[in-house]
Amino acid sequence: MKRADKFYIDGEWVEPSVSKTLEVIDPSTEQPMGTIALGSAADVEKAVAAARRAFASFSRTPGQERVELLERIVTILKRRNDELGDIISREMGAPLAMARAEQAGIGAVHFEQAIKAFDTFAFDYLHGSTRIVHEPVGVVAMITPWNWPINQIACKVAPALATGCTMVLKPSEIAPFNAVLFAEIMDEAGVPKGVFNLVQGDGPTVGAALASHPGVDMVSFTGSTRAGIAVAQAAAPTVKRVHQELGGKSPNVLLRSADFPAAVAAGVRRCFGNSGQTCTAPTRMLVPTERMDEAGAIAARQADALVVGPPSDPRTDLGPVVSAAQFDKIQALIERGIAEGAELVAGGPGRPSHLNAGYYVRPTVFARVTNEMTIAREEIFGPVLSIIGYDSEEEAIAIANDTPYGLAAYIQGDPREAQALAVRLRAGTVRLNSAAWDAAAPFGGYKQSGNGREYGKFGLHEFTEIKGIVGFSNE
């Protein structure tokens, strides 16, 4: 059993202000794997005070010192990569190989991108007779999710450190132990006292206290749209900056020019990766109506071929979903899809027959879905794909954009056609023909998928204030 009974505040591991703990459940067994201390408003107060004290000096450190700090962090992240991957696999259920290579490995990538972006970022320049200065925004509260935990921690912490901000991190209480290892890495790398602080806890207590705290200058939140609204409301009275990456219901438009066997199979794999627990997952596959049967058959074969099993088994493609609450939500939505008349072509309700414990979901594909059905509207956050037919390209665009979300979109087909269509889709990222992930591309969404952008130079922008010194002369 693992225990995380202290918080990292002002460069020290300290006892919580109140004695309250939470069991962390291994989703592959449904059994406790450890406990964490739950923070309170008093712990938030200590952490914010430490970050405010540290900001006065850290915000004025030479840029090269901050780059060297980032480089030390990269070295340690790489050295402890497998350790991070192992704990992520246990606490949120990702297959072990994927947890090491992608879940943990992505952390060092974000720090390396921050270093590259720093080298070319214009922190100070003249615009006519006005001097433009990008300065650190201040103390940042970071509230991060369980589905890609190190990704979302690293893509916030790296630009914050690069720009000279100080911070308080509240990771998800569902998958918290990776953040403890991350704090150890920050300490080993020599992050100055108070610059990075970690307080474990739940959203209604620690998250709300951070969002509303007058000593916090910015909240960077990743999670559900519902929780994002609560964060924004808590932050509003103090008029702090609120940066959010929220939910998604991403369309995947297969043009008539697409290689259907390859495009459908790729779409299924991308939708079901991380057991469907990815905010950018292409959960709505749009296909020409006359090819619905073909697309459904290909998707069903692909789904049926996926191996669902324990994260430690090297044959496993999909591990469990993260919790009982998530499992129950997914099951209810699968039942809703059947009840509303969608054609079930793969998977369905219940756990896979060969597994008698764990939050495992059958990879599920619905064909002949309409965009008004619940499974096409709500973010399911599980391995469930909806295939929707369209008759014309104009209809495909209308269906793709007919969602309250706008985080990502995908297009498969002739490159010129895909490029022309991309500019008409209302999404923060549009990926063409299964293009590889780009850690330097801006990440964030339109509409109820949030505001602001992360990754690379775009992340540096988010953590700075812009000052104009008018009438400046360098003579």
Active site residues: 245, 279
> What is the layout of strands, in order, in the sheet containing 166-170?
12-14, 7-9, 196-198, 166-170, 139-143, 218-222, 241-245, 450-451
How is the chain split among helix, strand and coil, in percent rounded to 5?
45, 25, 35
The beta strand positions in 355-448, using DSSP E, are 364-369, 384-390, 405-406, 408-412, 429-432, 446-447
Q: How far apart are CA 235 and CA 212, in angstroms?
A: 5
**Residues contacting residue 173 through CB under 8 Å, at least 6 positions apart:** 22, 24, 36, 38, 200, 201, 202
Q: Nearest CA to 474 among 124, 136, 163?
A: 124
Both tokens of 391, joined, read 């008759």
**Residues contacting residue 305 through CB under 8 Å, at least 6 positions apart:** none
Q: How far apart are CA 318 and CA 306, in angstroms?
A: 7
Q: Nearest CA to 168 among 326, 135, 160, 57?
A: 160
Residues paired with residue 254 on neighbouring β-strands, in sequence order: 412
Q: How far apart are CA 444 and CA 245, in angstroms?
A: 6
> What is the layout of strands, in order, in the sheet containing 464-469?
124-127, 130-136, 464-469
Both tokens of 39, joined, read 């923070």
Q: How far apart are CA 344 and CA 364, in angstroms?
A: 8
Q: Nearest CA to 95 among 364, 310, 269, 352?
A: 310
**Residue spans of alpha helices (H) in 102-258:** 105-120, 149-163, 177-189, 208-212, 225-235
C-beta separation of 95 from 318 below 8 A: yes
Q: Nearest CA to 331 among 360, 296, 304, 368?
A: 360
